[in-house]
Amino acid sequence: MVLKKILLATAQVVFLAAFVSAAEPAAAKPAINLDERRAFGYLEAICKLGRRPSESEGMTKQQDLLVEHFTRLRADVRKQEFNTAHPKTGVPVRMTNLIMSWHPQAKERVLLCCHYDTRPFPDRDQFRPKGIFLGANDGGSGVALFMEMGHSMAAIQPTFGVDMVFFDGEEFIFQRDGGKFFLGSEYFAQQYRDRPPPYRYVCGVLVDMIGDKNLAIPVEPLSLKFAPKVVRSVWDTARALGVKEFSTKSHPTDINDDHVPLNEIAKIPTADLIDFDYPHWHTTKDTPQQCSGASLVKVSRVLLTWLQQVPEDVGR
């Protein structure tokens, strides 16, 4: 009798649910909310701050802008700070990684990351190697991408918790060749290894130079070596969405980037999405005009979709 009553109640609920879902779709809010003009507007706003090397005035303004943006979108905002010696003068330089967390209670997390400092000088510029380097694609594009993705993060249902991390000091470099790269990601990886947090990163995706208006993202060989399941699942998602900018070709050489310390020190399997075929790299011509909102939205759509279907065994 009791059982029957429960069955009856269940049947009613099922009926109601069917009714509601039939009436609902027109009013349902799409979880993924992307806008090419808004995304490009973020890139322009970041570049309007001027050059943004570590500890510069532009970098401080950028930090304020990001803290404000992500707080408004209800992310959990943290700063990870440390000092490093200036490579030319030896004086201490304050470095700041910014961490924006979504679903902060989740103990298993995906790391999305980019660098947000810009190279101090456009030293590959033929005419103005000491000119102003805006770094729209190299430094700005990852930031604009995450700002745009932020509008969808509270609404989607990711498989794992998500942290967006902005690394400082990716290229605090004052010479044409050599120098110490990846200061922020290396510190982040060492801290994760030496003072393990109460959560675990199952995997990571780094983005770098993904705003090019002629976008083509080949498979980066080190990513395939360190994080094959991450690469495969991201590229499968892109193929299913018809985003052809994710090329199945491999980049001809390994690319040393912030994902290396994450893989080698923190042991977080991390793939790098990078379009290194960019003629304006490290020149004064790396400006918003060379980038597009369409490219930012394509990569955003792939990552937002992927976050909702990350394979359980992605890191194994």
Binding mask 169-208 for Zn ion (x = CB under 5 A): --x-------------------------------------
Computed on alpha carbons and rounded to an integer, the radius of gyration of the chain in Å comes to 21
Our CB check for Zn ion shows the closer of 171 and 220 to be 171
Task: Please state the closest distance from residue 138 (CB atom) to Zn ion, in A.
Answer: 4
Cβ atoms of 132 and 185 closer than 8 Å: no
Using an 8 Å Cβ cutoff, are 63 and 96 in contact?
A: yes
- Judged by CB, which is closer to Zn ion: 148, or 171? 171
- In one-letter notation, the amino acid at residue 68 is E
Does 272 engage in binding with Zn ion (CB under 5 A)? no
User: Is 125 an interacting residue with respect to Zn ion (CB under 5 A)?
Assistant: no
Integer CA distances (angstroms), 215 to 17, 139, 209, 210, 304, in order: 43, 16, 9, 7, 18
| 258 counts as binding Zn ion under rule CB under 5 A | no
Strand 76-85 to 92-102 pairing: antiparallel
Cβ 215 vs Cβ 137: under 8 Å: no
Q: Which is nearer to Zn ion, 74 or 176 (CB)?
A: 176
Contact between 138 and Zn ion per CB under 5 A? yes
Residue 217 Cβ vs Zn ion, minimum distance, rounded to whole Å = 16
- The residue count for binding Zn ion (CB under 5 A) is 2
What is the smallest separation between the CB atom of 171 and Zn ion, expressed in angstroms?
Answer: 5
Report, in Å, the least distance between residue 286 CB and Zn ion.
9
Residue 52, classed as helix, strand or coil, is coil
CA separation, residue 179 to residues 51, 92, 266, 288 (Å): 20, 17, 22, 27
Least Å distance, CB 63 to Zn ion, is 19
| Binding-site ranges for Zn ion (CB under 5 A) | 138, 171
